[in-house]
Structure formats: C-alpha cells, structure tokens
Amino acid sequence: MAKTNWSEDLKPLIKKYKEKKHPIDHKNTYQLVIMVILSAQDSDKHINEVAVTFFKAFPNMEALARADAETLYQYIGKVRNFGNKTKWLLDLASKIKTDKNIPLTMEELTELPGIGRKSANVIMRESGVKAVGIVVDLHVVRVAPRIGIASGTDPKKIEKQLMELTSEKDWGELGMAISFLGREICRPTNPKCTECVMNKVCGYNIGNLAKKK
C-alpha cells in the first residue's frame, strides 16, 4: 500500500503511547541495562520477576563487578540463554565498574556485550536521550509490515524503512508505540481492528474491509 505521509498518519498512535514506560520494571539506568540484556529471547514479565532477588544481591554495577559466574547462576539460571548472559553481565561490569560510567550513546552502548541496536534504542529512550534510531522488537517486526509501513522480517531493515518514512523527532517514541500497539491491540490472531487508532490507514484492516464488500 503506497503511502506518502506516514509522519502525519502515525500521530494518533504516538500520542496514545507517548512516554509510556517500557514493560521492563526498572528503577534506574543500571537496572535498565541489566534487564534489557536479560530480556533478550525471554519475556519482560519473567525478567521483572527475576529482577527482584537479583537486584537485592547486586544493587549496583560495583556489586555485580565483584560477582562470579557460579553466583550469578543462582539468580538467572532460569533465564533463557543464561550461560551467555552471565558472561555478558560479568564482562559488562568489569568494563563499566560503576553506575556513573554507564554510556548512553548508540556507539558506546552497542560496543558493550549483549547490547545490539534494539537494546541500545530501548536504553536511550527510557533514559530520555535523543533518539538516533527506532526500537524494533519482535512486536514491531510483526506489526509494522502488517500496517504497511515496512516490509520483511529483518529488524535492521525495518528500522531503516521506518527512519526513512518518518520524522526524526518521532523516532524516540515510534518504535515503542508500535510495540505497545502489538502487545495490546494488534495481536497475532484476532487483532482488535475496530479499537485501533491506525485502522483508517492500516493495510491489513483496509484489505479485510475490501474483502467484505
């Protein structure tokens, strides 16, 4: 579906979810970084549960830097891919050492173990840093093509498409807005199209309406 003004069409969606906190229940930047790494290929709900005891044991980067793998296993042993995540967290803590040293630029974040563009975009958004990209999580990968604003399944390519079609001032909120839409309204099966703020421009909904005529 050809579109010429996605920046305008997306305004209701961005307004609906603007500044809504990420489902990862973090209290500070340190917790955010650790939980973003742990949440890869796992659920935010599970990581929120794991985080309660984890942060009691390791309240800051200094405490984490003193830990070893065997100790971490006790707290994140049920997290998906915990072996690699343990290595990443220990490596991260040894490099950063203190909370105040946590970087908040795309270049520096993506140099850290366990943090790619998606994770860096999330960390920057939740920290109030000016966006240089767009969060593309599993929900965005599914929903953006369904709406018609992107195509394919490669997160980096979808992010590039979104950036090309939208205003830079909206990048910080757009990814999470699409993600929240996917979590709440645009479900994989039985999406709630009649409740969706995007239904007038959504390729999926317009296609379904056309079939019913």
Question: What domains are there in the chain, each with its CATH number?
Answer: 6-19+134-212 (1.10.1670.10), 29-126 (1.10.340.30)
27 in Cβ contact with 60 (< 8 Å): no
Whether the pLDDT of residue 58 is over 70: the answer is yes
DSSP state, residue 169 = G
What is the pLDDT at residue 151? 97
Q: What is the pLDDT of residue 208?
A: 84
Q: What single letter denotes the amino acid at residue 53?
A: T
pLDDT given at position 42: 95
Q: What is the mean pLDDT of residues 118-140?
A: 97
Residue 68 has pLDDT above 90, yes or no: yes
CB atoms within 10 A of CB 87: 14
* Residue 209 confidence (pLDDT): 78
Q: Work out the pLDDT band at 79, boundaries 50, 70, 90.
A: very high
Quote the pLDDT of residue 3.
53
The 3-state secondary structure of 81-139 reads CHHHHHHHHHHHHHHHCCHHHCCCCHHHHCCCCCCCHHHHHHHHHHCCCCCCCCCCCHH
What pLDDT sits at residue 109? 98
Please measure the distance between the N-terminal and C-terminal CA atoms of the chain and give it in whole angstroms. 19
What is the number of other CB atoms lying within 10 angstroms of the CB of residue 23? 15
Summarize the confidence of residues 153-165 as an average pLDDT. Answer: 97
Q: What is the pLDDT of residue 55?
A: 98
Answer yes or no: is pLDDT of 198 > 90.
yes
**Mean pLDDT value of segment 85-100:** 98
pLDDT recorded at residue 1 = 46
4-19: pLDDT as tens digits: 699 999 999 999 999 8
**Mean pLDDT in the chain?**
95
The pTM (predicted TM-score) of the whole model is 0.93
* 44-57 and 29-39 helices, crossing angle to 10°: 130
Task: State yes or no: pLDDT of 211 exceeds 90.
Answer: no
41 against 213, higher pLDDT: 41
